[in-house]
Amino acid sequence: MNTRTATRPSAPVRRHTRRRTHNLPLHYAVCTLVAVVMLVPLVFMFAGALKPNEDVLGDGAGWRALVPAEVSLDNFVSAWERSAFGQLLFNSLLICSLTVVGGLIVNSMFGYALARLRWTSRNAVLAIVVALIIIPFESLAIPLLLMVTELGWLDTYQAQIIPFVANPFFVYLFYSFFLALPRELEEAARVDGAGPWRTYRSVIVPVSKPAFASVAILSFLMTWGQLLWPVMVTRSESVRPLPVGMAVFQTLPPLQWGDIMAFAAMMTVPMLVVFLIFQRAFVQGVAAQAVKE
């Protein structure tokens, strides 16, 4: 009897468990509502891309707008041909790939130097990095445009890549992740004769895959959807990314809503693919950061 009483959970624990159980339906209802609100525009976009052009807006705003009565791929073919989508897609993939890869290298090395190495003015540099996070890009766009013009980089790939390789937010994300890693890993590497560079490359990077995946996804999404800066520095279709191409495509006569929906759908698919590939590592990275906080 005493053993049974001792193993029973206390009254506060039982009340907390009952409260959580009672709140589960409400939590699921709220999550379902948020998911529906976020998914409806995507479903409408893909449905409109598969409909004949005259039916995209002709079905009204009811549930019929989300279900194509007649499926056709003509809008995708038309959007691809009318907008030179292949060239725009290549430009975006090239810009995003180089920005993400370069950013992973530069930001992770900078974050590691701030978190683990001891050097003069390290705290001052860290304060500057944190301050730069809150400065909006719009306030830096004009000075950056003048610098790019002086360098002769207008209407080039490097004008869309190099200014965004280093990112203070990603530097701080790597810094906070590296700061929480056990120092025993580096001490063991130091005993084996490894220097800072070898320790970073052979010890820190392999155990930091969640942080790298999180930064890769966030950097890809930020670069893929960027519009303001490419509008300012691009002039020709040969280096123009997809967001600018879509803005121009909407103004081309005749106005075909089916083609616009197909363009938007083709532009969305790469983002979904990247997120699905790195989803598990991204969730692990976010969860790890939440636990550390």
- List pLDDT tens digits, range 68-83: 777 888 889 999 988 8
The reported pLDDT for the residue numbered 100 is 95
Superfamily of segment(s) 81-292: MetI-like (1.10.3720.10)
CA atoms of 95 and 165, how far apart (whole Å): 10
Residue 210's closest CA among 130, 113, 156, 287?
A: 287
Confidence of residue 85 (pLDDT cuts 50, 70, 90): very high
The reported pLDDT for the residue numbered 11 is 57
Q: How far is CA 164 from CA 203, 256, 272, in A?
A: 27, 34, 22
Q: What does the mean pLDDT of the chain come to? A: 84
The reported pLDDT for the residue numbered 197 is 87
Q: What is the dihedral of CA 229, 232, 237, 240, to 10 degrees?
A: -10
Q: Average pLDDT in the 42-55 region?
A: 83
pTM for the full predicted model: 0.82
Q: Is the pLDDT of residue 242 over 60?
A: yes
Q: Average pLDDT in the 275-283 region?
A: 74
Three-state secondary structure along 162-228? HHHCCCHHHHHHHHHHHHCCCCHHHHHHHHCCCCHHHHHHHHHCHHHHHHHHHHHHHHHHHHHCCCH
Q: Is the pLDDT of residue 1 over 50?
A: no
pLDDT digits (tens, 9 = 90+) for 100-156: 999 999 999 999 999 988 888 889 999 999 999 999 998 999 999 999 999 999 999
56: DSSP letter: T
Q: Which residue has the higher pLDDT, 131 or 274?
A: 131
Q: What is the dihedral of CA 208, 214, 215, 216, to 10 degrees?
A: 100
Confidence of residue 241 (pLDDT cuts 50, 70, 90): very high
Residue 257 near residue 51, CB atoms below 8 Å:
no
Confidence of residue 42 (pLDDT cuts 50, 70, 90): confident
* Percent of the chain that is helix, strand, coil (3-state, to 5): 75, 0, 25
CA atoms of 270 and 266, how far apart (whole Å): 8
CA atoms of 54 and 57, how far apart (whole Å): 7
In the chain, residues under CATH classification 1.10.3720.10 are: 81-292
- For residue 182, the number of C-alpha atoms closer than 13 Å in the C-beta half-sphere is 5
The reported pLDDT for the residue numbered 187 is 83
Q: Is the pLDDT of residue 14 over 90?
A: no
Q: Which residue has the higher pLDDT, 208 or 18?
A: 208
What's the gap between Cα 98 and its chain centre? 15
pLDDT digits (tens, 9 = 90+) for 144-197: 999 999 999 999 999 999 999 999 999 999 999 999 888 888 888 888 888 888
